Chain A
Amino acid sequence: MARSPTHAAIEAVFRIEWPRLIAGLARVVRDVSAAEELAHDALVAALEQWPGDGIPDRPGAWLMATAKHRAIDTVRRAKLVRRKHEELGGEIEALGGEVSDEREAIDEALDDEIGDDMLSLMFVACHPVLAMEARVALTLRMVGGLTTAEIARAFLVPEPTIAQRIVRAKRTLAEARVPFEVPRGRQLAERLESVLGVVYLVFNEGYAATAGDDWLRPALCDDALRLARMLAELAPQEPEVHGLAALLEIQASRSAARAGPDGEPVLLLEQDRSRWDRLLIRRGLQALASAERLGGALGPYALQAAIAACHARAATAAATDWARIVALYDALAALAPSPVVQLNRAVAVSMAFGPAEALPIVDALVASAELKSYHLLPAVRGDLLAKLGRLAEARAEFERAAALTRNERERGLMQGRAQACGALVAPAPLA
């Protein structure tokens, strides 16, 4: 390479190579923490050499070779320590033959197809032994290739908090002796659910920021989308992986339309559909078709993707197939009963069969008190009441929603609707 590589160029190589490096090394040393240390050493070596020598033609191979040398040292040292212990017990093995066996084994392991390693790395980073926020941090760091600073910025917490979270997570994994492998059989489904859950959470954190001034944090959405796309390549036989990818692609396709000129949220039905991203919609519909082809049409992510697809396929809001959406929500509610699903179902019922049909569903939710601090419950109830002409009640609900949301932008939206109801409260109610 002719031009001398900048720091940013080297960083870009790291971003690409870091996850693969850790995944490949973790298989050899069977320990994610040790693998990360080895990878880190290799990166330090690169930072010393590349600014002068230029980035090698195959930087991945360079980094792997450098880390490999260290790995051999580490494994050998560990064996020596163990052997010392064994010697005390009187068992001495011949040293010579074994070292070359080791080297061969490591060479072989590192030259293997890396797909399974990356998948193993995802499963380890999302292991149920870890708290949810630890899974998220570890996944973004090790699989997503984000720096600690980038993760901290994305989640609006101080960098040392994230660094500590990652250190503690790695310790927990070591203590629990979590094996570096793709789980099999019955375990697979459960563990896969955890991986998908982490990716979905990252996406949602970017898509509907729970805290802060911005309604959207697109970088997090992109990170999650990238993880979902990786998963779809690495575990193509799993229908729900495609279901999740489909859901995220279609939701992301609306990013540009979800915020107005001043950054305020624009609700789905009021969005300018010309701003929806056709490429992402096409990718989403393709992924959904893959999920369905694999017999996964009724998985929870595939069902949500199918609902999103109904919107994506509708040329205008009025053309939405609400009856189908209600049917899909029925299936989703049967599969994974949850008050949030019921709330969404109520919205669909209102659109398909009228607000009067939907109000009892929402009232039942209010009565059950399960969603009592969820701002969208009064928001939806307010909307139904407004449509039914019960404006004073609607205003009270919008005000409740405004008080409950932690997002500034959403609060503004709810206050606006409350005011609109107030202005419209007329002496004669609508028929």
Chain B
Amino acid sequence: MRFMILVKATRDSEAGKQPSERLFAEMATYHEELAKAGVLLDGSGLQPSAKGWRIRYSGDKRAVFDGPFAETKELVAGYTMIQTKTREEAFEWARRFPNPSLDHGEAEIEVRQLYELEDFEPNPQLQRFEAIKEISR
């Protein structure tokens, strides 16, 4: 089973501040451990929401809004995807995640389980989704 560890944004991450050497080292050590245990699948940091945009839908209408966005704590600043044998194992790995805040102050991570494709029956919509991905490759 797969889980995504979502790192929530902080005022510092939204300001585009670079992590300290200490935080870099802690994150590197943690991710090395994940990799050496064969658990790490993917991961990346995200740039501040100032460089992103949103699209809001209302029926058939859509409107584009440029970042930055105000509700810092609801924004995502990075993610780490892991694969474990049990839910408890994912919990234990997540428990070891270093404090991701840049000033070693307040921060929050959130862990979510991924749907597996096996959870879905084959259907034509998935096939179309795939065709789109092929074009974009």
Residues of A within 8 A of B (CB): 1, 6, 8-9, 11-13, 15-16, 59, 115, 118, 218-219, 222-223, 225-230, 233-234, 255-256, 261, 272-275, 277-279, 283, 315
Contact = CB atoms under 8 A, between A and B. Distances in A.
16 contacts: A12-B88, A12-B91, A12-B92, A59-B92, A118-B36, A223-B85, A226-B83, A233-B35, A233-B36, A256-B116, A256-B118, A261-B121, A261-B122, A273-B130, A274-B129, A275-B122
B21 to A, nearest CB: 20
A283 B89 contact: no
A218 B41 CA distance: 17
B130 A274 contact: yes
Given A8-B86, A272-B122, A279-B42, A230 B36 contact: yes
Contacts of B95: 1
Contact of A272 (B40, B86, B93, B127): B127
Contact of A9 (B92, B116, B130): B92
A255 B134 CA distance: 19
Given A16-B89, A261-B121, 10 more contacts: A59-B92, A219-B85, A226-B38, A226-B83, A229-B39, A233-B32, A272-B126, A275-B117, A275-B126, A279-B81
B133 interface: yes
A275 B126 CA distance: 8
A255 B118 CA distance: 8
Contacts of B55: none
A227 B122 CA distance: 30
Nearest to B118: A256
A228 B42 CA distance: 16
Contacts of B35: 229, 233
A15 B122 contact: no
A15 B40 CA distance: 15
B36 A11 contact: no
Contacts of B92: 9, 12-13, 16, 59
Contact of A8 (B88, B117, B129): B88
> Nearest 9 pairs between A and B by C-beta?
A274-B130, A12-B88, A226-B38, A229-B38, A230-B38, A12-B89, A256-B117, A315-B134, A274-B126
Contact of A283 (B41, B128, B133): B41
A191 B83 CA distance: 28
Contacts of B128: 274
A230 B37 CA distance: 6
A15 B39 CA distance: 12
Given A16-B93, A256-B117, A272-B127, A9 B38 contact: no
Interface of chain B, helix or strand or loop or mixed? helix
Contact of A15 (B41, B86, B129): B86
B89 to A, nearest CB: 4
Interface in B71-129: 81, 83, 85-86, 88-89, 91-93, 95, 116-118, 121-122, 126-129
- Candidate in B32, B93, B95 with the most chain A CB atoms within 10 angstroms: B95
A129 B89 CA distance: 33
Contacts of B41: 279, 283
A118 B33 CA distance: 12
B38 A227 contact: yes
A278 B133 contact: yes
A118 B37 CA distance: 10
A9 B129 contact: no
B42 A274 contact: no
Interface string B25-36: 000000010011
A9 B91 contact: yes
A71 B64 CA distance: 64
B117 A222 contact: no
Contacts of B38: 225-230, 233
B117 A234 contact: no
B130 A15 contact: no
Contacts of B131: 274, 315
A12 B37 CA distance: 13
Contact of A234 (B36, B42, B89): B36
Contacts of A228: 38
Nearest to B133: A278
B39 A226 contact: yes
Nearest to A259: B118
Contacts of A256: 116-118
Contacts of A115: 36
A353 B37 CA distance: 45
B74 to A, nearest CB: 25
Q: Which of A16, A59, A219, A234 has the most CB of B within 10 A?
A: A16
A113 to B, nearest CB: 10
Contacts of A278: 133
A11 B134 CA distance: 42
A226 B128 CA distance: 31
Contacts of B32: 233
A8 B89 CA distance: 9
Contacts of A59: 92
Nearest to B92: A12
A1 B94 CA distance: 13
A9 B88 contact: yes
Contacts of A273: 130
A225 B134 CA distance: 26
